[in-house]
Structure 1
Amino acid sequence: MVFRLPSMISSSSKQFLKLHSKNQKGVPKGHVAVYVGVNEEKKRYVVPLTCLSRPEFQNLLSRAEEEFGFNHPMGGLTIPCNEETFIHVLNCQ
């Protein structure tokens, strides 16, 4: 199931995601790398660990567990939603 929500991204969130999604070497302390997408091509994002406890993010994690279990095709945590939805969830507080 894919949800389409309007995207309202703050400029600071855009800068954070752009900066850290290009950082392929490592993940900063207090962050986790996730892969986002519903098709073969997935994008890598680095998000703060504090996001993991949000109810909206927990919903995405539950969907990932239902779809992939513990066998993620990218070798890391894969979130099965489109990028707009993912960014919207990150901006919800």
Structure 2
Amino acid sequence: MGGRIRSRISSAKQILKLQSLVTRKKPDVPKGHVTVYVRETHRKRFVVPITVLNHPSFRCLLKRAEEEFRFNHPMGGLTIPCLEEAFVHLTSGLP
């Protein structure tokens, strides 16, 4: 009997946790876009089209960032440790 109660409590906690995730205010990211944070300190938030993720230049940037720094996503978006100017230059030339 005690096992069933613990199981129900655990299930209730999971449901509450999922509800809080669903009802949490979502950031303004249009459909078909992804959030990218740039820089290692004082991160700046960019919203870019998902199509950018498949571009060879952007994939190269992601690969270098992964090899050098590993990925760290504490803000819930993709974090790339590079200069803001380099990121803007790269993404501004992409379709």
The TM-score bracket by the shorter chain reads: 0.5 to 0.7
- Tell me the alpha carbon deviations over residues 28-64 of structure 1, each in whole angstroms, 9 at most, x when there is no partner: 00000010013x2100000001111111111111123
Tell me, what secondary structure is at the counterpart of 1:47? strand
- Compute the TM-score of the two structures, normalised by the length of structure 2: 0.61
Alignment of 1:4-43 (within 5 A): 25-38=27-40, 40-43=41-44
Contact 1:35 1:45 in 2 (8 A): yes
Instruction: Give me the CA root mean square deviation.
Output: 1.8
Tell me, what secondary structure is at the counterpart of 2:47? strand
Contact 1:63 1:80 in 2 (8 A): no
In 1, the alpha carbon distance for the partners of 2:70 and 2:75 equals: 11
Number of aligned residue pairs: 68
Identity of aligned residues (%): 57
Aligned position for 2:83 = 82
- Which protein is richer in helix relative to its size? 2
In 2, the alpha carbon distance for the partners of 1:74 and 1:91 equals: 24
Task: Answer with 1 or 2: which has the greater Rg.
Answer: 2
For structure 1, the residue ranges without an aligned partner over 5 or more in a row are: 1-23
Structure with the greater relative contact order (CA < 8 A, sep ≥ 6): 1 or 2? 1
